[in-house]
Structure 1
Amino acid sequence: MNGKLISLSGFILIGLFLCALLLCGCTGTTETEKTVPASASENPLRETKTQPGSAGVLTITGSTTVLPVAAQAAERYMDTHPGVDVQVNGGGSGVGVQSAGEGTAMIGMASRDLKKEEKEKYPGLREHQIAIDGIAIITHTSNPVPSLTLDQVKAIYNGNITNWKDVGGNDATIVVIGRDSASGTREFFHEKVMNKEDFVQTQLEKNSNGAVKQSVQQTPAAIGYVGLGYVDKTVHAVPILVEGKAVAPSVETVKDKSYPIARPLNFLTNGDPSGLIAEFISFIESPEGQQIVIDEGFVPLSR
């Protein structure tokens, strides 16, 4: 009887010992996996974050005028370069200059030339013209003003003309709509049309071409200015009187230089472009890229 009990106890001890070994083995494997993480090469599904500036990522920031061209070009480029991520954001030409100059974006967008102080602050910036744009003066479709001279446009924007009836429009107080201080369109308009005179204090400032257009669409007595690519049948584009001839804003009149309010659209890089930056700029300058410029309502570069 005692022998049987001893044998039974022995079997029980052996069984417990084997269970302990199995438990230790399982626990040891689990702890090893927690404390020694696999490298990215060992685990192809491991999540990694790609930083701007690495191969395959291109960041573009700035002018809302240039934005539609850059966005469409980005989509087309990524279609044929599946490993590339082109990220396009607005913010205005001032933001584009600063972002390119300080390296927070790889390409800046500007709807004007660089100013003297910007060149001094960011001496490494390079301008790459990608298109030409006309600035259209727009009114509500219910107020189709026949034409305006540049002096009349200036007088409206500095507050010397306040009623539409004084320039061939409806009998209504003019609602002046313009752009905010970050806008390259505003900078160009201030220099080219206003001769650097102050805007009327009642001017409503908008942060994009689209916002100006929408405000004019919704305000019968409004006037605004937008890039040529934003003109359509929902607003009236006012012809500008040049030597007695009314010239409407269009691709043709900007190209032949008969329309007087036109400016360059630029990409900006910090230093001479290379790699992905150079490849994307070359794409914009190519026939396919210039067709995007045309499709967006702007004027292509002459080649």
Structure 2
Amino acid sequence: MPGKSLLSAAALAAGALLSSPALYAQEVQLSTTDGGITLTGELLEFTGETFILATSVGKLEIDAFSVVCEGAACPPPELMRSDFRIAGAKSISEGFLPALIDAYGFDLDVDVLNTLTDDGSELTLTGANDENLATINLAGLGSTGGLKALLDGEASLAVTSRPLRNREARAFADAGLGNLADPENEKVLALDGLVVVTSRDNPVRAIRETDVPEVFSGRINNWSQLGGPDAPIRLYVRDESSGTREVFDNLVMRPVGLAVADQVISVDNDDAIADLVSADPYGIGFTGFASLRNAKGLAIEGVCGLQTPPTAFTIKTEEYPLTRRLYMYQTNRPKTRHAKALMDFALSDMAQQVIADAGFIDQAITAETINAQGLRLASALTAPEAGQSFGQLQDMVGTLINADRLSTTFRFETGSSELDSKAQADIQRLAAQLMEGKYDNKELLLVGFTDSVGQADLNQFLSADRAGQVQQALLDAAGGDLPNVKFRVLGYGEISPLGCNETFQGRLINRRVEVWTRDLVGGE
């Protein structure tokens, strides 16, 4: 437990000399939040985050927020509180943040009380003696509203269902608040997919990517135009201020110069979209994968004929065309101890399980056999480039035939050789598993791919080079040595598309480094 470990670490550091003056010089008692460990000594100084205590074993520094202080010299309770606000997308602030904070409290062994407010909820962390350790206000202001609150200093953290816009990044930089696109300030909490949904009573099972904006603009207005019954289409959409709507507009509508029709049923949350559509055989809407509920999600068919269903794995690998990342942002402003600790906790394995339990797509590493990758092999054989690279296809299939694909898929910043913020976090996540021995005596295949822009031989070189960059990043994260893991770096260029190269989004999907594992056999 964090409180015990911090106090134990302090005890092990006995004898460390500190030069701080004796500002308090009165005896106090410090106990972990569960009362399991108690330490008595003379309080020399309270820095705001640390107690400096003179004990029989020497001077100790102890994290003030991991213990309860009793005695006349203890600082006033208001100095020990860690109140802060998180503002942003309702799908996050209502979808899984309360459960995430509850798990954070469980990890600290403190109680968490959740109270509803006008714009969200307020969660209070309470210690063993009923002292208020922190009050966290969750405000569902939408992604844009959350970033504005962060910029204005009205929130310590912002959560969004879309990435930071360039003009927003400039506003933070101009205000001296740092580069919010830097991986230190931009964290991917989870993944979600925008799913085009219908009733399970509707026979349509897939929709062309090009038809989606036509439907929601009202240009296609009868189900018979989509291979369904002769009946009018009813549109259910999110309100314009929502992050879900903004992502849908950016991914689907704006690239083709269309806007959502005026004659729609506007809904203020993702769950309600799914509920309304599931009860309407002629309704269609869009919602988050986490809010699919009893509605039916349609596979998306690209302009090249490739269909991708919305599944947890295709969203984790970001191959589903309407995948979206869910973000948490911070600035360089000072933050309370619990605000900083909660942001770190949100990326932990424990937090990822909470996110998965809430119905969102966590970032824990999962695997699929090549049998489940049949669609990508079929698309490779039918791609325009297949005739020119059949030998490479045979080599790829022969190499991967007995391997499993991990969900971890590395991508780079657009127009850059630098891993993006999610990929950098994934490097740490995979490197930790490698150091734990999870893939000992296995071969780790790092397989690079590109889009079809440019010369095929140069694309193959680039794909292998990117895979090599991932290998080096993993070795660096692991301290430079993984003797029990055999790496193999491969580059297959443009031969195995998972998206349609005719579109910008498809090309983004195709530029990737996949991770496969297979057992070492015999003397391999």
Identify the TM-score tier after normalising by the shorter chain.
0.7 to 0.9
Judge which range, 96-105 or 80-89, deviates more.
Answer: 80-89
Provide closer, same or farther for how the CA distance between residues 176 and 256 of structure 1 changes in structure 2, counting only shifts above 3 A. same
> Is 1:268–2:318 an aligned residue pair?
no
Instruction: Tell me the amino acid that sits aligned with residue 296 of structure 2.
Output: H
Structure 2 match to 1:201: 262
Structure with higher Rg: it is 1
Instruction: Tell me the amino acid that sits aligned with residue 90 of structure 2.
Output: T
> Is 1:164–2:214 an aligned residue pair?
no
Structure that is richer in strand per residue? 2
Give the secondary structure class of the aligned counterpart of 1:148.
Answer: strand
Contact 1:55-1:276 within 8 A present in 2 as well = no
Question: 1:287, 1:102 → 2: CA distance?
Answer: 32
Q: Choose from 297, 301, 306 the match for 1:241.
A: 301
Judge which range, 216-225 or 183-192, deviates more.
Answer: 216-225
> Is 1:254–2:315 an aligned residue pair?
yes
Q: Choose from 147, 160, 163 the match for 1:97.
A: 147
Give the secondary structure class of the aligned counterpart of 1:285.
Answer: coil
Query: What residue ranges of structure 2 are gaps of 5+ in the alignment?
Result: 1-75, 111-125, 127-132, 364-425, 430-524
Question: 1:96, 1:54 → 2: CA distance?
Answer: 26
Contact 1:290-1:300 within 8 A present in 2 as well = yes
Cα displacement (A) at 1:144: 4.0
Question: 1:285, 1:97 → 2: CA distance?
Answer: 20
Structure 2 match to 1:154: 213
Give the secondary structure class of the aligned counterpart of 1:185.
Answer: helix
Cα displacement (A) at 1:170: 2.8
Structure 2 match to 1:70: 97
Judge which range, 154-163 or 70-79, deviates more.
Answer: 70-79
> Is 1:145–2:204 an aligned residue pair?
yes
Cα displacement (A) at 1:71: 1.7
Structure 1 match to 2:187: 128
Provide closer, same or farther for how the CA distance between residues 129 and 273 of structure 1 changes in structure 2, counting only shifts above 3 A. farther
Cα displacement (A) at 1:238: 0.8
TM-score in terms of structure 1 length: 0.76
Structure 1 match to 2:404: none
Judge which range, 74-83 or 95-104, deviates more.
Answer: 74-83
Q: Choose from 55, 68, 75 the match for 2:81.
A: 55
Question: 1:121, 1:133 → 2: CA distance?
Answer: 27
Cα displacement (A) at 1:260: 0.9
Question: 1:49, 1:226 → 2: CA distance?
Answer: 44
Q: Choose from 345, 362, 365 the match for 1:283.
A: 345
Question: 1:170, 1:283 → 2: CA distance?
Answer: 49
Question: 1:90, 1:215 → 2: CA distance?
Answer: 22
Greater relative contact order, per chain length (Cα 8 Å cut-off, separation 6+): 1
Cα displacement (A) at 1:54: 7.7
Structure that is richer in helix per residue? 1
Give the secondary structure class of the aligned counterpart of 2:235.
Answer: strand
Provide closer, same or farther for how the CA distance between residues 265 and 273 of structure 1 changes in structure 2, counting only shifts above 3 A. farther
**Deviant stretches of 4+, over 6 Å:** none
Contact 2:271-2:292 within 8 A present in 1 as well = no
Query: What residue ranges of structure 1 are gaps of 5+ in the alignment?
Result: 1-47
Contact 1:237-1:249 within 8 A present in 2 as well = yes
Judge which range, 145-154 or 193-202, deviates more.
Answer: 193-202
Q: Please, what is the CA RMSD of the aligned residues?
A: 2.4
Contact 2:103-2:354 within 8 A present in 1 as well = no
Cα displacement (A) at 1:282: 0.7
Structure 1 match to 2:62: none
Instruction: Tell me the amino acid that sits aligned with residue 222 of structure 2.
Output: N
Contact 1:133-1:262 within 8 A present in 2 as well = yes
- Over residues 133-159 of structure 1, what are the superposed CA-to-partner deviations in whole Å (9 max), with x where a residue is unaligned? 211111122214210011111110111
